[in-house]
Amino acid sequence: MTAITFYVQIVKALDEIDAPYMIVGAFGGYPFGITRVTFDIDILVDLREQDFEALAKKFPLPRYYADPEMMKNSTQMGIMFNIIDTSEGIKADLVPLKREPEYRVAFQRRVRRNFVDPAGNAFTAWVAQPTDIIIGKLEAWNEGRSDKHPNDIYSMVAFDLSDLSDLSINYELITQEAKRIGQETLEMWNQVFAKAKDEVEKYKK
């Protein structure tokens, strides 16, 4: 089992128990134009009292470690927690919404989208809208300056400008958020947008 396969297993379990969650990051951008081979799957959860035990039952001992009390305490404190597949040596991190309050509005407007797992099986999951994924990547770039974030943003913008997405990106809101984050982030955003726009216009000619 790969790490992505394990994360997909967790997403399906969250759906089965009807627990509130949302995929963000690069994997969340998969339905909106991100095509790179390697993904980090970032899952935000807003678990309720009844969800801790229900989720733990989906990943029972001895193979799995999924402590409902640990999940509950971490959620209350806004601390990331994990579920571990001990036989494969894989762990999946889940992030309580309380730890990332800036995502609360994005969480309220999450959408269902189709995905394909590493084995080629289709499934649906809750995901952030493309506008919110891009804003999250602007924040991440500001913190770490990784090139993967501008590259992902470029892919999503080009996808949208090519009329391939059924959810339009709110460019005005993204520009406002880039300004709030800082001048360097705004400059990066403007450069990536201009590059994607020029490339799409060339293709359309």
Give the model confidence (pLDDT) of 32-84 as tens digits.
Answer: 999 886 777 899 999 999 999 999 999 999 999 999 999 999 999 999 999 99
Parallel, antiparallel or unpaired: strands 90-96 and 42-45: parallel
DSSP run (H or E) holding 85 = strand 81-85
Which distant-in-sequence residues (6+ apart) come within 8 Å of 176 by Cβ?
Answer: none
- Kindly report whether the global pTM for this prediction surpasses the value 0.85: yes
C-alpha span between 16 and 51 (Å, rounded): 11
pLDDT of residue 205: 66
Give the tokens for residue 94: 């889940």
Nearest alpha carbon to residue 126 among 16, 33, 22: 22
Parts of the chain with a pLDDT under 50: none
Give the tokens for residue 121: 């099986």
pLDDT of residue 9: 95
pLDDT of residue 105: 94
C-alpha span between 81 and 124 (Å, rounded): 24
